[in-house]
Amino acid sequence: MLQKGWKDSLLSLYAQSRRNSRFHHCPSDKTKRLLQSQIFQPTNLLEDNRPSWLTYKSQQLMLQAGLIHPSSPGCYSYLPVMVRAMEKLIRLIDKEMQGLGGQKINMPSLCSATLWKKSERWDLVGKELFRLRDRLSKEYCLGPTHEEVITDLIASQHNFSYKKLPLLLYQITRKFRDEPSPRYGLLRSREFYMKDMYTFDVSEEAARHTYRTVCDAYCRVLSRLGLQFLKVQASAGNIGGQMSHEFQLPAEIGEDELLVCSSCEFSANVETVQPDQNRCPACQGELTKSKGIEIGHTFYLGTKYSSTFNAVYFNAQLEPVVVEMGCYGLGVTRMLAAAIEILSTADGIRWPELIAPYQVLLIPPKQGSKEEGATALIEALYDDISKAIPQLKDDMVLDDRSYFTIGKRLNYANQLGYPYVIIAGKRALDTPSQFEVQCQNTGETLFLSKEGVMGLLNEVPAV
Amino acid sequence: MLQKGWKDSLLSLYAQSRRNSRFHHCPSDKTKRLLQSQIFQPTNLLEDNRPSWLTYKSQQLMLQAGLIHPSSPGCYSYLPVMVRAMEKLIRLIDKEMQGLGGQKINMPSLCSATLWKKSERWDLVGKELFRLRDRLSKEYCLGPTHEEVITDLIASQHNFSYKKLPLLLYQITRKFRDEPSPRYGLLRSREFYMKDMYTFDVSEEAARHTYRTVCDAYCRVLSRLGLQFLKVQASAGNIGGQMSHEFQLPAEIGEDELLVCSSCEFSANVETVQPDQNRCPACQGELTKSKGIEIGHTFYLGTKYSSTFNAVYFNAQLEPVVVEMGCYGLGVTRMLAAAIEILSTADGIRWPELIAPYQVLLIPPKQGSKEEGATALIEALYDDISKAIPQLKDDMVLDDRSYFTIGKRLNYANQLGYPYVIIAGKRALDTPSQFEVQCQNTGETLFLSKEGVMGLLNEVPAV
């Protein structure tokens, strides 16, 4: 039981405990160099370097490079290097979504069966839905998407005015899907990160305009990553709605079959056209078959969910009107895997430059080599870049494993993927020093002075 | 089926589609002012302003202010303003954890029953664990913590060298706990965000040193938020281990009962001492009763998990040694709610300045008022701050609802919480202009010129 003077006596205790150093104070951390030897990137998790069950390049490379580790089928732990790339991709998506006026929210994973029964998806989705009961036997599913939850949230507002529209809400959260055969690493897993946006508009016309602006933002995300893509006519599946597109990264290993017109801009998932159709419905041009990895899916929903949940806004005449909706998915972890699948070589990961986990790797000479004297030079280069180009400060790694030859460390670098690898080789001891710079994404090798390196790195894009 | 020239023909399609503008290009977004009228912060979700079931101030204020919305018992949607505060808190925690050398990972929510049976927690934890089966009837739980998953990950490494230790891995992810009576909003919910760190060391001595450094980082997080706290001796509960502390925010509504020594720095959760103990075991000083909200819990685990999972490192003599572990939880969503509970007034939210969703609210004059001419002045002030103080660019809101009086908008501001509220009142039309600045966290009101406002805001801390 707390007496009346409780707060006062507690405050006096604080004062005492401060004097008694109950409150710890530590000096803040100094700037340290990031050392390759200390990064948790276990490259020794695979018994056999190329197990036969690894059919996809990205999965093999991501496991070999210590980016992910399987926990149970289709469920992965993302390791530190992977988390860095993912956080960069999330920042990129945040910027593009917020540039449209999108506002970020975060909805629960546990979605009540009541809501899902209302939309009839509880039965429709079937076994892909992870289902569970709580201690009171109430039923839930683990949300694969959140149309029900968000429409219910919008419906719960009173006097929701037309002045608030268009409203664009999105989240970047973990999603769940009980895939019949989870495989291909992060390309088809049972837990994954997805950006899902839900939009609300006053009319079909406004909703179609919003739909186009969100699709344009998807195009910008993919362009900024340097990924070629197709926006194809798609089936709306169990999400529903009246218009739908997929964003596909063309890849021979893609699971989606596409038809692309050689004369106009029509392209479609084969699911959406008649079997054996080989002429473009728009211009009668020839349709070419292609394959793609789906990384985004957009839906103009109309009032499919809003009418069921009675989500209405009030117009200028204060009359309730059912709100027009759209929804827009973008696979975050899948996009990372797909980019690796498409950009990498057979032996080495290549990242979209903007979201590479680390932009720069610096390799000092081998211990005991003739060039060992250049160690201090490349360490000074690290510190100078760190000071002069603040956005690279946390994006540089020093490969301090100087017990390995430069060649061996270059092999690692080639496998793990760094847009810029800087080597203190023979010419580092020239006057002035020349550093070897390997640009992994372009394949170029340059010999540059310190100023030249700084000039090059100053242009590295950051998100 | 894909013919041989597949890639070439596709590339030529790209070239065409580029010309055909299949690839959309939109102009990048210009800097816009952030308008109060456009923020999705529904303050009208509660039918009754103070329903009797809302016993906690933070829950009531967060619902009233449109920060959260209940989806099902103990499961909330976090709305945009809340997400901003949460992302700032996460950045703060990231910085402190990475300052210690912590590396960020991300483990699955679906945790295999096999792992949990191995640690015997499958039966021990009981009904608090959400359990489910997948389509193949394999059992999983939704992870409330991840000792099993991470120890299994560490155990799966080959030749894990002592040179890699200490290793500090952490994640900030959604956790699940089937609370018997979820209540008090985000103070006790069934889905919540938690930072959990797991540390690995060569010896007990090293592990105890790591334990102290992580506790110190917790102290820094709380100090930077301006929250007074106690680090108390705690029970290790079902997590286990040999030493444990809780970080408690003293509050009369706290669910934990604490004993605090008035003479030395001893403090403890009552669970850890004999009933009716009223003398400090360390110095025989008097123990004062207190109550707290637990927001962090640290455990020195020893080899409890690592011996079960055979997680070993190899020492300098290449002998396997069972690794020493610690684990450290810090409630993210709970800390936000607890800070609001402690700092707020009965009617208005007060945020720790560092993580306030928005730092500055600017209120222009009412339409048609004598001061209306000052609208342009305060809009220019917004733009000038935006340019001169880049870290505030996205942290300012213009309350454009000029159909309301300044007083009414001030009431809203008082309810929602902004460290700095800038008003263009009567003196804004003086030469030079004087703006009224209300500092919510200190209660001060200042009249400042534009330069004075800039000087004040230049000192606002950012994370």
pLDDT tens by residue, A140-195: 999 999 999 999 999 999 889 999 999 999 999 999 999 998 878 899 999 999 99
B19 and chain A: CB distance < 8 Å anywhere?
no
Which chain A positions have a beta carbon within 8 Å of B288's beta carbon? Answer: 9-10, 13
B437 sits in which H/E element: strand B435-439
Boundaries of every domain in chain A: 57-343, 358-458
B224 sits in which H/E element: helix B204-224
Which of A2, A20, A69 faces B265 most closely, judged by CB atoms? A20
Identify from B19, B29, B37, B71 which residue to disrupt to test chain A contact, counting A C-beta atoms within 10 A and taking the largest count: B71
Q: What is the mean pLDDT of residues A30-48?
A: 80
pLDDT digits (tens, 9 = 90+) for B38-82: 999 998 766 555 555 667 889 999 999 999 999 999 999 999 999
What gap in Å lies between CA A38 and CA B322, rounded to an integer? 20
Burial of residue B103, with CB atoms counted within 10 A of its CB: 0-12 exposed, 13-18 middle, 19 or more buried: buried
Burial of residue B27, with CB atoms counted within 10 A of its CB: 0-12 exposed, 13-18 middle, 19 or more buried: exposed
| Alpha-carbon distance values, B131 to A105, A191, B402 (Å) | 26, 16, 52
B135 and chain A: CB distance < 8 Å anywhere?
yes
Judge: B159–A44 Cβ closer than 8 Å, yes or no: yes
Which chain B positions have a beta carbon within 8 Å of A296's beta carbon? Answer: none
Q: Is the pLDDT of residue B28 over 60?
A: no
pLDDT digits (tens, 9 = 90+) for B245-292: 999 999 998 999 999 998 998 999 999 988 888 899 889 999 999 999
Q: Does domain B358-458 have CATH number 3.20.20.140?
A: no
Which chain A positions have a beta carbon within 8 Å of B198's beta carbon? Answer: none
What gap in Å lies between CA B161 and CA B304, rounded to an integer? 20
CB contacts < 8 A, A to B, total 249
B137 and chain A: CB distance < 8 Å anywhere?
no
Interface subset of B 193-222, CB within 8 angstroms of A: 213, 215-217, 219-220
Q: Is the pLDDT of residue A28 over 80?
A: no
Tokens for B159?
Answer: 């030749």
Q: Does domain A57-343 have CATH number 3.30.930.10?
A: yes
Judge: B103–A80 Cβ closer than 8 Å, yes or no: yes
B17 and chain A: CB distance < 8 Å anywhere?
yes
- In this predicted structure, what is the pLDDT of residue A19? 40
Beta bridge mates, A256: A292
Shortest Cα–Cα distance, A241 to chain B (Å): 23
- In this predicted structure, what is the pLDDT of residue B50? 55
Which of B29, B44, B77 faces A107 most closely, judged by CB atoms? B77
Task: Indicate the pLDDT class of residue B30, thresholds 50, 70 and 90.
Answer: very low
Q: Are A200 and A149 in contact (CB under 8 A)?
A: no
pTM of the full predicted structure? 0.93
Closest chain B residue by Cα to residue A126:
B135
